[in-house]
Structure 1
């Protein structure tokens, strides 16, 4: 078969072009460390690489969300620890205020201390993060949640919104708790009913904390009023269940300070001293609004401790009852804060576990992507050198063959 000069040139040039192109590909792989420079290099691997890249980006975003959520919860946890410490100190002050040896000056001093602790609680309730977002404002993150209300208590400026972070494909974690759920409400479970006396009482009756005799009785959660009648020498009382429809009232019963008063069939309360006819006492669920605001409770007891009571049995009884009520309310609020903090701690632990899992998955994804797209440097260098040597040989051969001609031999 005859090979024309043009064929000879075309074949050699095509060979060198192919080798030059292959050499460029190897060089690019070596310089970039990536085996897949274009999808055409390996379409199947390229498709898998796209999927792995998307997965890696998603995991990176989840890691960012987890870190942000954990930071928010850690700040809330720290704040709630301070709230718990302050409230525990307040309970101690309330217990000290019940010491019968104290005088008006002593109680006024305690009231002043409680006012300082109240300010601490309000500052903690208005805690914000470094970006100016308030922890307990719900969705109203840029609005301070609490302001003092005229006449006592606070106004809540936030809402009940719960901010959530997407931390996995199928899991969202709450990163905050609303101020109303922390400072203005208490749970029905784990708390105790609250006993109180009417401010208008004129006797010296002292009501104690209610006791549950049968937890299974539904009427334990009802609202009761105890009304005294009869005469100072022969007092009687009636018990009204205000929750029943219509309200029910027991028959008048002779009062005996040594006999607890039954409230329905599952609860009772003791009243000591000498209640006067017309005096009333109440026992209400812990969840009742007047029982569940930390700040309203504090304001009420501060006001009670500032009232003179020396040598005044009625005023002394009123103060003692106010202390009993305040301690019950505060213990319930403290229970609520503890429950919320436990929930925050549970979410922190979950996020920390998710962080470990996400880091592991991200590392594995990156490893798979590197295996798929990365260059085997030893193999790539070997192929580069082989192709380079072959190209050099082809170039030298082409140069020599260019000089070959029949006319050289004729002329020789």
Structure 2
């Protein structure tokens, strides 16, 4: 086989070019630390690297969302802890106010203390984060949720919106609770009906807390009114179920202070003292609007404690009824706050678990991506040295061989 001079030159130049190109590739890998500089280096690995990069970016965003959500929930949790502590202090003061040995001045002092606690509750209800976003305003994050209402209670300027954060591929977590759900509502489960006496009553009858005698009876959630008739010497009462349509009223029954009054088939309430004919009492569900706002409840108790009742048995009975009503409704509100706080705590625990999982998955993804695109330095240096030696050998061989010819051999 004959090898022409041009063919000889071309083959050697091509060999050295290939070695030079390979050497440049190894040099690029060593200097950048990346095995994939272009998709052409390894199309399959490049496609996998794109997928892993997208997954890694998702984990980074989830981590950011989880941290932000956890910060919001921790602020709410801390605020609700303060609310709970304040409400417990209020309950203690109300119980103390029911002490019959106190005078009007003592009760007025308790009313002032309760007003201070109320101001604390309003401040807590208007808590905001460092960025000026209110915790309990729903979607209206920059709007102060609560202001005092004329005549007692508060006005709510937020909405019922629940802000959610995407914290995993298929999981969103609520990062707030609306002010209406925390401060202006009461759950039906775990709370008790609210007993009340009419402020216009003239007798000395006082109503106690309603008790459930049969938990499965549906009428336990109905609204009842108790009206007294007969005579002062022989009082009677009737019970009206105001929830059914039309309302139903029982026959007049002789009143006995030692006998509880049945309400429906599963609830009863005790009324003691001497109600006058025309006096009325009520037992309403915990979820009724008049029982749901902790601020309205607190304002009613403060107003009742500010009224003088000394040496006035009827006024003392009215105060006792007001405190019984207020304390029952306020305890229901406290139950609601603890339920919300438990929900917040559960979400915090979930986020902390997700943070651990996300961090683990993120590290694994980054490791897989590094294995796919990174350079094995030992192997790359070895290949670089081997290719460099091969190029040098090819160059030196070409220099020696290209000068050889038949004429030189004959002449020699």
TM-score normalised by structure 1 residue count = 0.97
Query: CA shift at 1:408, angstroms?
Result: 5.0
Query: CA shift at 1:252, angstroms?
Result: 1.0
Equivalent residue number for residue 365 of structure 2: 365
Equivalent residue number for residue 50 of structure 1: 50
Query: CA shift at 1:272, angstroms?
Result: 0.7
Secondary structure at the residue paired with 2:168? coil
Partners of 2:411 and 2:244 lie apart in 1 by 132
Partners of 1:246 and 1:389 lie apart in 2 by 104
**1:323-342 maps to which residues of 2 (within 5 A)?**
323-342=323-342
Secondary structure at the residue paired with 1:35? coil
Query: CA shift at 1:41, angstroms?
Result: 1.5
Equivalent residue number for residue 398 of structure 2: 398
Query: CA shift at 1:409, angstroms?
Result: 5.7
**Is structure 2 residue 77 aligned with structure 1 residue 74?**
no
Partners of 1:130 and 1:16 lie apart in 2 by 66
CA RMSD, 1 decimal: 1.3
Query: CA shift at 1:66, angstroms?
Result: 1.1
Equivalent residue number for residue 210 of structure 1: 210
Equivalent residue number for residue 23 of structure 2: 23
TM-score normalised by structure 2 residue count = 0.97
Equivalent residue number for residue 38 of structure 1: 38
Equivalent residue number for residue 389 of structure 2: 389
Equivalent residue number for residue 197 of structure 1: 197
Deviation string for 1:262-316 (max 9, x for gaps)? 1111111001111111111000000001101010001111111111111111111
Query: Which blocks of at least 5 consecutive residues in structure 1 are unaligned?
Result: none
Query: CA shift at 1:3, angstroms?
Result: 2.5
The count of residues paired between Structure 1 and Structure 2 equals 412
Secondary structure at the residue paired with 1:92? helix
Query: Which blocks of at least 5 consecutive residues in structure 2 are unaligned?
Result: none
Equivalent residue number for residue 274 of structure 1: 274
Secondary structure at the residue paired with 1:167? strand
Query: CA shift at 1:43, angstroms?
Result: 1.4
Partners of 2:64 and 2:399 lie apart in 1 by 61
Equivalent residue number for residue 301 of structure 2: 301
Equivalent residue number for residue 313 of structure 1: 313
Partners of 1:119 and 1:31 lie apart in 2 by 66
Deviation string for 1:334-386 (max 9, x for gaps)? 00001001111111111111111111111111111112112111111100000
**1:9-408 maps to which residues of 2 (within 5 A)?**
9-405=9-405, 408=408
Partners of 1:2 and 1:184 lie apart in 2 by 102
Partners of 1:144 and 1:230 lie apart in 2 by 53
Partners of 1:195 and 1:214 lie apart in 2 by 18
Q: Which moved more, 1:402-411 or 1:249-258?
A: 402-411
Secondary structure at the residue paired with 2:268? strand
Deviation string for 1:38-85 (max 9, x for gaps)? 111211111111111111111111111111111111111111111000
